[in-house]
Every structure is written in C-alpha cells, then in structure tokens.
C-alpha cells in the first residue's frame, strides 16, 4: 500500500514537472508577451519575468520593444527640377503596442521597410536638388510624417528618419563644382575690390596729411629706403616722383607770353639778277624787230650766220665765259630769272642781247 502511494506521488510529481516545463515561459525585460488562447487574443499582455501558459491551449508570442535601426535601400528617382539622383536613408522605430503589432500586421518590420521605400521615392519627386543637398531637416520631417501615419495603426512609433546619402551623376558633380568655383571666385573679387576701396580711402587721407607737410613725403621715402636696405640686397631701387619730371618738363617749355614777345626775323625775297636785254625799272621795254616773234629777242635771230657765208664764227676763247640770256619778256609781264644755260655742243657761245656786226 505504501509502495503504491509512493509510486503515485512520484508520478504526480513527474507530471507536474512535465506540465510546468511545458507551460513555463520567461519574458525578457525588453519584451512583451501576447497570449493567444485557442487563437483568440487575451486582453492581458504578459510583462517581463516568469509566466505560465496552458500547454496546447494558449500560445505566447514575444514582441521586442527596443528601438530598431533599419536601413532603407537606395532608391533611384527624379527630382522636381529633372535631376536623376539615388538616395538612401535610415529609419528608427519601435513597437509601442505589442498586441497591435501581432494582430494588425503580419510582419511589422517588412511593412515598415516597404512604407519607408515608397515614402522616400515620393519625397524625392516632390523636392528639388538643392533641398536634398542643403535642406535635409525639412525633408526628414516630411518623410517621418509620411511613414508614421500608417504605422500608428500597427502599434509602431517612428522615432527618426534620416536621409543618409545622395548620389549624383558625374556630369552633375562637375557642373556643381564649376558653379561653386565661380561663386568663390566672385566672392574673392568682391573682397579684393572692397579691400582696394578701403586702401584707397586710407591713402587719400595719408596724401592729404602729407600735402600739409612737404617734409613728410621725404621722410616716407627715407623709411622706404631703410626697409629695402634691411633685406641686404645689392640693388637698391629708389622711387622717383613723376611730379618732379612733369615740373622739369613744364620749366623747359616757353610760356605763351614769351612766345608772343619774341621778335620774328624779317623775311627777304631774293631778287633775280638783271640780265642783258631786260629793261630796268623806269625804262620802256624794247620793241621787237620786224619779222621776229613777240617772245623772241632780236639777238636770237642774229646769232645764226647768214646762209651765204661759208666761214663759221670763231669759237669762244678760254677767257670768255659763255652765258645764256633768257628771252625778253613781253611788255607788262614779269618772268622769273632763269639759271645760266650751258654752251651748245658746237662750242659757240650763245650770243647776248647785242647784235653782232655782219662780215663782208
């Protein structure tokens, strides 16, 4: 009898141990347990610690309540200003309602991932390239709102969404680099111009101060010489003021008053020498010989020997200098003096205005 009771007790203890092992569950601190009894959701959600379920009747599903970091695959899209980009992001979310995460959606992780991808494509199409590059905070907030709206019914809370990287085509990168370089060059030129303006104002003030004291310019020149000599150079360059050169140039040029007062030398007109056959001033012009042309001098016709004479005229001696006289001018007309003509090829001198005697 005692043995039978002992065997029954051992069997009961064994059955209880087996039942306890089959019904015992341990829920971790960052988890919550959702119990389904015969497929029906129990209202109570099991907290962390040791809990029991009916084996074969109840089923416990554990839901992680930690924040999940999920990368969103890179999405290709076209921005509003027609630029093709490739954008990837990262999303941070957690489950706030374990029962809804189990009942409302089949796999809340996959659902959140797909919703993040579609929302990211929508954000790319609604934004400009400059917004994707510089105004990401606003885009992150808009993307978070787009994902959080359907996720609230799944018992999931979106904590944060960040656009991680924006990939641009190589041509667009080069264009943006040129734009940035041009902008920096523009700012550099503006800064240089501003510096030149300020320096010119300071130099103008310094010049006005030096103009009051002429010795200040000489002192400044000496300071420059000392500064150059401190470099131990073999060549010393001294600045020479241009104003001094202009002063010397003005000093050499005559003033307008001196140019007016300077007397002009009298201009004399050379007079042609009086040649033979021309009338002097106050004397009547000679009349031409009968049968001669008006412009022909009577002596010109007499120079040739008569056709009947066979004896030529004697040549001119060495002491005689042949000279040619221009024909007499018409009455009332003045002719300029002509240079002395050379002797003819025959060796006879050109007769003057006097008529030679004919030989018999």
Q: Write out pLDDT tens, residues 139-191.
A: 888 888 888 888 888 989 999 999 988 888 888 889 888 988 999 999 999 99
Average pLDDT of 343-360? Answer: 48
pLDDT value of position 186 = 94
Whole-number average pLDDT of the chain: 75
The pTM assigned to this predicted structure is 0.50
Tell me the C-alpha distance between 96 and 101, whole Å: 8
pLDDT value of position 310 = 44
CA distances from 164 to 222, 262, 336 (A): 64, 93, 109
The answer to whether 95 and 110 are in contact (CB under 8 A) is no
Tell me the C-alpha distance between 13 and 7, whole Å: 10
User: Highest-confidence range of 52-56, 199-203, 231-235, by mean pLDDT?
Assistant: 199-203
Residue scoring higher pLDDT (287 or 231): 231
pLDDT value of position 195 = 94
Tell me the C-alpha distance between 111 and 147, whole Å: 10
Tell me the C-alpha distance between 41 and 267, whole Å: 138
pLDDT confidence bin for 47, thresholds 50/70/90 = confident
* CB-neighbour burial class of residue 154 (10 A; exposed 0-12, middle 13-18, buried 19+): buried
User: Highest-confidence range of 37-41, 117-121, 292-296, by mean pLDDT?
Assistant: 117-121
pLDDT value of position 207 = 85
Tell me the C-alpha distance between 244 and 227, whole Å: 23
């Amino acid at each position: 009898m005692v043995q039978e009771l002992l065997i029954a007790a051992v069997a009961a203890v064994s059955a209880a141990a087996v039942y306890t092992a089959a019904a015992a569950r341990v829920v971790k601190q960052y988890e919550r347990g959702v119990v389904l009894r015969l497929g029906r959701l129990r209202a109570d959600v099991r907290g962390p610690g040791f809990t029991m379920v009916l084996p074969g009747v109840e089923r416990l599903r554990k839901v992680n309540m930690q924040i999940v970091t999920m990368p969103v695959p890179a999405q290709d899209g076209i921005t509003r200003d027609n630029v093709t980009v490739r954008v990837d992001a990262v999303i941070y979310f957690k489950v706030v309602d374990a029962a809804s995460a189990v009942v409302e959606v089949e796999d809340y992780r996959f659902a959140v991932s797909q919703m993040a991808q579609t929302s990211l494509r929508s954000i790319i199409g609604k934004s400009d390239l400059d917004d994707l590059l510089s105004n990401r905070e606003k885009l992150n907030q808009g993307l978070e709102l787009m994902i959080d709206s359907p996720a609230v019914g799944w018992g999931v809370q979106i904590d944060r969404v960040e656009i991680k990287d924006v990939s641009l085509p190589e041509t667009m990168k080069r264009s943006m680099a040129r734009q940035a370089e041009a902008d920096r060059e523009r700012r550099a030129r503006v800064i240089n111009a501003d510096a030149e303006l300020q320096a010119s104002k300071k130099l103008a003030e310094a010049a006005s101060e030096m103009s009051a004291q002429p010795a200040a310019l000489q002192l400044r020149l000496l300071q420059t010489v000392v500064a150059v000599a401190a470099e131990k150079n073999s060549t010393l360059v001294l600045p020479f003021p241009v104003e001094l050169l202009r002063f010397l140039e003005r000093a050499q040029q005559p003033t307008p008053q001196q140019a007016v007062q300077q007397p002009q030398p009298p201009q004399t007109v050379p007079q042609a020498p009086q040649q033979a056959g021309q009338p002097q001033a106050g004397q009547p012009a000679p009349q031409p010989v009968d049968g001669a042309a008006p412009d022909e001098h009577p002596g010109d016709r007499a120079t040739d020997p008569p056709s009947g004479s066979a004896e030529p005229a004697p040549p001119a001696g060495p002491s005689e200098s042949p000279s040619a006289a221009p024909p007499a001018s018409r009455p009332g007309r003045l002719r300029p003096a002509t240079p002395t003509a050379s002797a003819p090829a025959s060796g006879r001198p050109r007769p003057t205005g006097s008529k030679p005697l004919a030989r018999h």
